[in-house]
């Protein structure tokens, strides 16, 4: 549904994004994750036809975002980073205005606005002045505006930024309700948010994509650790474990009183090493009291990917 290929954008001497490629399948929620200044908004603005890329291409529903921007806009709802709502207007009046700008036929506007008010939980505040509503409600109004015309694709630039925790939960629930129905790109600099809401994550840093995968596979593809609790002499155990192929490092803590040691073994490939670890301990005659895998969190992976190139 969305196909981005080798996008590069220069602002004068600044390269905001470089060689950005990813795709989003129909009905998928893709998380676009990266620290501030990584290039998320720039990529999104190109996708929405706001300005052209310096090189590369992007298609939405098969249409080129720049050459066929009218067709793209017809299929795309966009929540910008700073929601441009007219504060002095009542909610319904603003959405009617937004609908007319989007080219919805006058006779359909009332019905269309009532639909998005309902979808975004705004019906009860329809007559309120926007300025008097909380930031969470204003964010909903922005999403409601993006939902007008029932677009196939929704692009949401940091939809939960500046909200309090309760509002964040509500907005997330609203967006997750679109899964399967709409194709969504959601940008965020908040890792747990993206891993919770999105089927796949594209991580961008310094203007280029450093990884695209499911949260599970991103977390699973790096080094893991195995934790062991063994009764026996610390120095001997450490040196024996150290000879096992695939062991990268060992961290240990020993309790003199009980004679029990706790060992954290770091390894590039966790699955293959558990056999040799347990066998080695047991054949040496040391009781193996506990063994478990410690998987890196997505947080670890993100930090590793994002700090690697500084
Ligand atoms: N209009 C612009 N002119 C010059 N530099 C820009 C412009 N827009 C963005 N940039 C730069 O491009 C980089 C990426 O910015 P942006 O896409 O806004 O990142 P993000 O949304 O991930 O925080 C930043 O270094 C930013 O300063
Ligand atoms: Mg941004």
Q: Name the nearest CA neighbour of 20 among 36, 32, 28, 29.
A: 32
Average pLDDT over residues 47-58: 94
- Asked if residue 246 has pLDDT above 70, the reply is yes
CATH 3.40.50.300 positions along the chain are 2-219
User: Whole-angstrom Cα distance, residue 70 to residue 67?
Assistant: 9
Q: What are phi and psi of 73, to 5 degrees?
A: -60, -30
* CB of residue 14 inside a 6 A radius of ligand 1: yes
Q: Name the nearest CA neighbour of 266 among 246, 286, 281, 282.
A: 246
Ligand 1 atom closest to 81 (CA): 21
User: Whole-angstrom Cα distance, residue 66 to residue 49?
Assistant: 6
CATH 3.30.70.100 positions along the chain are 222-295
Q: With contact defined as beta carbons under 8 Å apart, do 132 and 106 qualify?
A: no
User: Whole-angstrom Cα distance, residue 226 to residue 247?
Assistant: 10
Q: Name the nearest CA neighbour of 133 among 176, 98, 99, 88.
A: 88
Q: Which residue has the higher pLDDT, 185 or 135?
A: 185
- Asked if residue 270 has pLDDT above 60, the reply is no
User: Whole-angstrom Cα distance, residue 28 to residue 41?
Assistant: 20
* CB of residue 167 inside a 6 A radius of ligand 1: no
Q: What's residue 310's pLDDT?
A: 43
Q: What's residue 101's pLDDT?
A: 87
User: Whole-angstrom Cα distance, residue 154 to residue 79?
Assistant: 8
Average pLDDT over residues 253-276: 87
Residue 271 makes CB contacts below 8 A (sequence gap 6+) with: none
Q: What's residue 303's pLDDT?
A: 74
pLDDT-derived band at 161, boundaries 50, 70, 90: confident
Ligand 2 center to residue 90 CA distance, Å? 28
pTM above 0.75, yes or no: yes
Residue 181 makes CB contacts below 8 A (sequence gap 6+) with: 27
Q: With contact defined as beta carbons under 8 Å apart, do 156 and 185 qualify?
A: yes
Ligand 2 center to residue 80 CA distance, Å? 9
User: Whole-angstrom Cα distance, residue 133 to residue 130?
Assistant: 5
The sign of the torsion formed by the CA atoms of 47, 53, 57, 62 equals: positive
Q: To test ligand 1's pocket by mutation, which of 42, 45, 51, 207 has the most ligand atoms within 8 angstroms of CB? A: 42
- Asked if residue 93 has pLDDT above 90, the reply is yes
Ligand 1 atom closest to 39 (CA): 17
Least confident of 52-56, 98-102, 189-193: 189-193
Q: To test ligand 1's pocket by mutation, which of 11, 36, 191 has the most ligand atoms within 8 angstroms of CB? A: 11
Q: What's residue 309's pLDDT?
A: 46
- Asked if residue 224 has pLDDT above 80, the reply is no
- Name the residue with the closest Cα to ligand 1, atom 13: 16
* CB of residue 36 inside a 6 A radius of ligand 1: yes
CATH number of the 222-295 domain: 3.30.70.100
CATH topology of domain 2-219: Rossmann fold (3.40.50)
């Amino acid at each position: 549904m969305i196909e981005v290929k080798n996008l590069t954008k220069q602002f004068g001497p600044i390269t905001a994004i470089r060689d950005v490629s990813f795709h989003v399948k129909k009905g998928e929620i893709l998380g676009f994750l990266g620290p501030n200044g990584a290039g998320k908004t720039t990529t999104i603005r190109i996708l929405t036809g706001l300005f052209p890329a310096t090189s590369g291409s992007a298609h939405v529903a098969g249409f080129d975002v720049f050459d066929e921007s009218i067709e793209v806009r017809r299929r795309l709802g966009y929540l910008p980073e700073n929601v441009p709502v007219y504060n002095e207007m009542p909610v319904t009046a603003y959405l009617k205005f937004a609908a007319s700008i989007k080219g919805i036929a006058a006779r359909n506007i009332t019905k269309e606005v009532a639909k998005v008010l309902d979808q975004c939980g705004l019906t009860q505040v329809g007559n309120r002045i926007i300025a008097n509503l909380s930031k969470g409600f204003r964010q909903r109004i922005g999403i409601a505006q993006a939902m007008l015309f029932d677009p196939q694709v929704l692009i949401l630039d940091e939809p939960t930024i500046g909200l309090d925790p309760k509002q964040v939960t509500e907005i997330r629930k609203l967006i997750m309700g679109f899964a399967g129905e709409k194709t969504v790109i959601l940008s965020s600099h908040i890792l747990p948010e993206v891993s919770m809401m999105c089927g796949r994550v594209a991580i961008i840093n310094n203007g280029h994509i450093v990884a695209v995968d499911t949260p599970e596979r991103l977390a699973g593809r790096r080094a893991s650790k195995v934790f062991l609790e063994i009764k026996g002499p610390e120095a001997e155990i450490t040196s024996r474990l150290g000879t096992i192929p695939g062991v990268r490092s060992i961290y240990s803590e020993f309790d003199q009183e009980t004679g029990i040691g706790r060992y954290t073994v770091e390894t590039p490939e966790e699955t293959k090493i558990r056999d040799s670890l347990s066998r080695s301990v047991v054949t040496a005659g040391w009781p193996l009291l506990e063994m478990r895998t410690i998987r890196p969190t997505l947080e670890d992976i993100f930090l590793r990917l994002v700090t690697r190139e500084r």
